[in-house]
Structure 1
C-alpha cells in the first residue's frame, strides 16, 4: 500500500468514483507501521468488486485525523487485489468533524428524523456548518478525481450535499446517489431547518435510489411540497434546473452465496449444534428464538424483550422450553443515550431471567459483542425462529442473512412491518413491533407451525433472497448508468416482490 499522485484526467479510461462516509478500510497507526482492516459492510461487499472490475477511486474516511497523517487533508492508497487495483482516497476528519458532522448533524438530526424519532432530534447551527464543510471536502476530492466520462456514485445521508456541490464544478458529469435509510414523509422531513438545502443537494444527481417504493414516494412528495417543484410520481421523475432526475426503488441484496457457503461448512454446522446444546442445557430438546442487531434505539431490542416477557406470561407452557438469544453488537458506546438504553436492556434481561428460569434453564441469553460471520451464521442455523422487529429500518439485512444461511430450508422468520425488507420478504410472519400481544401470539404460531408450511415459506424466501442479491442490485441500479448512454432502467414498481412471486 503506497501513496500515489493524481493521474492526468485525459489519460484515464471511464471509471467509477465512489464517495461514502466510511471507506472500504480502517487504517491504524502501529509501531510496525500502518495497518488496515476491512470492516464488515454490505456496501463494501457490494461496491468493491465493481471497482476491481472497472477501476476507479473510493473516497471516504478511514478512521484517522490529520494529526495522525502529517496534517494532510487526504491521502491516496493503491489497494492491491491481484492484477486488479483501485485507489482509496482517504479523507481525514478532525475530532471536531467527527463530533459535529458525524455524531452531531448526521446522527443526532438526520438519523432520528428519518426513522421517525423526532423527540431525539437535536439541531445545532454549528453541527450543520460542520456537515457542510465535510461535504465540501468530499466533493472537492470527487471533482479532482472524476473525468468527464466517469460515474460518481455518492452514498447515504452523511453526504447529501455532495451531488449538488460536484454538479457546480462538473455540470456535465454523471452522478448517482443512494440513500440507505428510510426517507420520511414530507411532514416529518420539513422539521429539519435545512430541509431545502438537503433536498437541493440530492437533486444534483442524475439518479437517486432508495430501498423501497414507499421511500421513493416520500422523497417525491417532499420535493413537491418543500421545494414546490412538479414531479412525475408514476415515472419517478423530477425536472430540476433543466435536467431530468430519475428516482427509483432498488433494495440492496446480500452476498447470498457467501452466507450459503459458510452455512455448509462442517465447522459451522458443528458450531450450530454446540450452540443448541449449550442453550438447551445439554438436552437438545426445546426451541431457540434469535435476535441479532446493532445496539441502537431503532432496532427495538427493549420492546422485543418485553414481547418475550409477554409471551412467557401468556403461554406458561413454554417456560423452560424456549430460549431467546439476543446478539447486540456494540454501537456508539460513548453516547449517553446509548449507555442508558443498554442499561435498560440489561435490566429487562435480568428481570425476565429472574421470573422465568425453570430447572436451571435461563430463558434469555444476552450477547453484547460483535461476532464473526461464521459465528453469526452458526447462530442463524441453531435457531428455530428469527425475531427481527426493528421499530423502523431502511431495509434490514439480518433478515436476508438468516434466510441465506438456512440451507435446511427450515426455520421461521418473524419480521417487523416497519422494516423495509417486509415489502420484499412477504413469506415472513409480519408483525407490528410495538404490539407486544401480536408478537407473542406470532411467536407461538411460529413455534407450532407445521414443518410443511415452514419449508414452503423458507424455500420461497430463499429463492427471493438469492435472486435479488448484491449482483442484482448493482445491475439494477448502477450498471445502466455505466453504459455509454448513461440511461437508468426502470424497475417493476412493486419492487422485487412481484418477480419473486412469479418464480415460486
Structure 2
C-alpha cells in the first residue's frame, strides 16, 4: 500500500549548482517536514505544481536514495494568473479569512481553477494502485477529492483544509460555494485545524447543500464523510536542538548586543491577514503612552515577501513601509530607532536566533488558520513571552500565551507592556507548559494520526 499526496507546493525545490546540474533541496515548511518522511516510508507519488524548471516533469526523491516519485504539474502563465493568483488567492483566500471586500469573483478564474484541479486529479488517478491512500491538501485543490472519487469510487481519500473555514454567511457569498463543498465531500476523511472550523463547515453543508449531519459525519450523495479537527504541529525536537546550538546562540547574542534594548519580535509573511499595520499602530500607541520606554524597547519586524504579483499585496507593502517610516520619524532619538524592519526571507537558523533573542513575540493575525510561528517560538525561546491573537487557530492550544484582540490598539499596547514587565519565573513557567502542549501534538504525530484514521475510515454508504 502506497501513499499519494497532492499539494500546490512541491516538497523539493530545483536549483542549478555551479556546474549547471539540477539539485533538489527540501522546501521549508510544515507540509514537507510532515509528509516527506511518510512518503519515504510508504513509497508512492507526490503531485505538485512544478513552478521552477517546469520542463522537468518527474523526479525520484530524495535523489541520493529515491523512495517516491514527484510528479510535477506544469502550469501555463494564464493558469498561474487565473488559478493561483486569481481564484485561489483573490477568491478563496480572502473569503476564508473574512475579507469579503478583497474578494474578486471572476468566471474565467473559476474555469482555470476547475481545469487545473482536473489535471491534478488525473495525475493521481494515473498513479493510483489498489490499496493506495490519497491525501489532498488545501484550498487550491478543493475540487480534487470529488474528481478522484468519480473515477475511483473505492479509493480511500483524505483532504486537509489548512486555512480557516468561515461562517456560512461569509462562505455563501462565493458564487461556486456548492461546487467547492461537493468537491471536498468526495473525501472520506476531512481535516481542519480547530473545532470552530469543523462546526462552520458542517453548518455550511447543512445550510447550503441541505446535507444531513450526525456527530462528525456529513451525509452526501449516498456517502458519509467524516470531519475532524486535527491541528498540525511542528518538529519540536528539531527546533529545540537548533535553538541551543552554539551557532544560533552566538547569533542571538549578537542581535541583542546590536540593539541593546528589549526586543519585541514579529515574523510574518507580508499578508493582509497578519495584522502588521495594526501591530505597528499599537506599538506607536505604546511609545506614546510609555515615553520612558523610548530607547529601551525595539520592535524588530521581519516581513517575508509574498504574492507580489497581487495588487493588494503591493499596496500592503507600501502601507507597512510608510508606517515604519512615520513611526521611526516620530520617535527616533539619540541613535535609537524604534522599529527595525527586515523585508526578505530568513533562513531557519537565523529565524530561530531571533526567537532566542526576543523578550516578547508578537503573533497577532487578524485571522489565521493556525500559525506555526507561535509554536516555533514556544519551542525555541529562552525566556520570552508570547503575545497571541485570539483569532489565530493556535490560540485554543496555547492558553498560556497573552491573548489579545488585534483590532484593539489599546489591548495590544497593554499586552506589550505586560509581556515586557512579566517576571522571569512566570515567563519560564508559561513556556514550560506551552512546550508540554507542543510535545503532545507534534508534527509527526499529526501525520501518523491522520493517515491511521484514513486507513481505518469506513468509506461505504452514508
TM-score, with normalisation over the residues of structure 1? 0.88
Structure 1 gaps of 5+ residues are 1-13, 281-285, 489-504
Q: Are 2:73 and 1:91 aligned?
A: yes
C-alpha distance in structure 2 between counterparts of 1:136 and 1:272, whole Å:
47
C-alpha distance in structure 1 between counterparts of 2:162 and 2:426, whole Å:
33
Give the equivalent residue in structure 2 for 1:221: 203
Aligned CA RMSD, in angstroms, stands at 1.5
Q: Are 2:191 and 1:191 aligned?
A: no
- CA deviations over 1:28-63 (Å, ceiling 9, x no partner): 578824343332111011100000111110000121
Q: Are 2:20 and 1:32 aligned?
A: yes
What displacement does 1:453 show?
Answer: 1.3
Q: Are 2:359 and 1:359 aligned?
A: no
- CA deviations over 1:367-391 (Å, ceiling 9, x no partner): 0011111100000000000011011
| 1:193 partner SS | coil
| 2:67 partner SS | strand
| 1:320 partner SS | coil
Q: Are 2:43 and 1:55 aligned?
A: yes
Structure 2 gaps of 5+ residues are none
Give the equivalent residue in structure 2 for 1:299: 274
Q: 2:398 aligns with which of 425, 428, 433?
A: 425
Matches within 5 A, 1:325-364: 325-364=300-339
C-alpha distance in structure 2 between counterparts of 1:82 and 1:29, whole Å:
16
What displacement does 1:486 show?
Answer: 4.0
Q: 1:276 aligns with which of 256, 261, 274?
A: 256
Q: Are 2:379 and 1:404 aligned?
A: yes
C-alpha change, 1:375 and 1:487, in structure 2 (3 Å) is: farther
What displacement does 1:82 show?
Answer: 5.4
Q: 2:218 aligns with which of 218, 238, 243?
A: 238
| 2:319 partner SS | helix
C-alpha distance in structure 2 between counterparts of 1:155 and 1:164, whole Å:
13
Give the equivalent residue in structure 2 for 1:143: 125
| 1:99 partner SS | helix
Give the equivalent residue in structure 2 for 1:474: 447
| 1:97 partner SS | helix
- CA deviations over 1:206-240 (Å, ceiling 9, x no partner): 000000000000000000000011112xx211112
1 or 2 for the larger relative contact order (CA 8 Å, sep ≥6)?
2
What displacement does 1:80 show?
Answer: 3.2
| 1:90 partner SS | strand
Give the equivalent residue in structure 2 for 1:369: 344
Q: 2:433 aligns with which of 460, 468, 478?
A: 460
Tell whether the 8 Å contact from 1:25 to 1:62 is kept in structure 2 after alignment.
Answer: no
C-alpha distance in structure 1 between counterparts of 2:329 and 2:60, whole Å:
55
Q: Are 2:285 and 1:310 aligned?
A: yes
Tell whether the 8 Å contact from 1:389 to 1:416 is kept in structure 2 after alignment.
Answer: yes
C-alpha distance in structure 2 between counterparts of 1:163 and 1:480, whole Å:
17
C-alpha change, 1:134 and 1:28, in structure 2 (3 Å) is: farther
Give the equivalent residue in structure 2 for 1:180: 162
Give the equivalent residue in structure 2 for 1:111: 93
Tell whether the 8 Å contact from 2:45 to 2:68 is kept in structure 1 after alignment.
Answer: yes
C-alpha change, 1:82 and 1:33, in structure 2 (3 Å) is: closer
Q: Are 2:62 and 1:80 aligned?
A: yes
C-alpha distance in structure 2 between counterparts of 1:64 and 1:315, whole Å:
49
Tell whether the 8 Å contact from 1:28 to 1:63 is kept in structure 2 after alignment.
Answer: no
What displacement does 1:338 show?
Answer: 1.4
Tell whether the 8 Å contact from 2:12 to 2:25 is kept in structure 1 after alignment.
Answer: yes
C-alpha distance in structure 2 between counterparts of 1:487 and 1:228, whole Å:
23
Tell whether the 8 Å contact from 2:10 to 2:27 is kept in structure 1 after alignment.
Answer: no
Q: 1:211 aligns with which of 193, 215, 226?
A: 193
Give the equivalent residue in structure 2 for 1:16: 3
C-alpha distance in structure 2 between counterparts of 1:273 and 1:83, whole Å:
38
What displacement does 1:448 show?
Answer: 1.0
Tell whether the 8 Å contact from 1:320 to 1:356 is kept in structure 2 after alignment.
Answer: no
- CA deviations over 1:146-187 (Å, ceiling 9, x no partner): 112111000000000000000000000000000000000110
C-alpha distance in structure 1 between counterparts of 2:338 and 2:183, whole Å:
49
C-alpha distance in structure 1 between counterparts of 2:312 and 2:65, whole Å:
47
- CA deviations over 1:127-151 (Å, ceiling 9, x no partner): 0000000000000000011112111
C-alpha distance in structure 1 between counterparts of 2:309 and 2:115, whole Å:
24
Give the equivalent residue in structure 1 for 2:386: 413
C-alpha change, 1:331 and 1:402, in structure 2 (3 Å) is: same
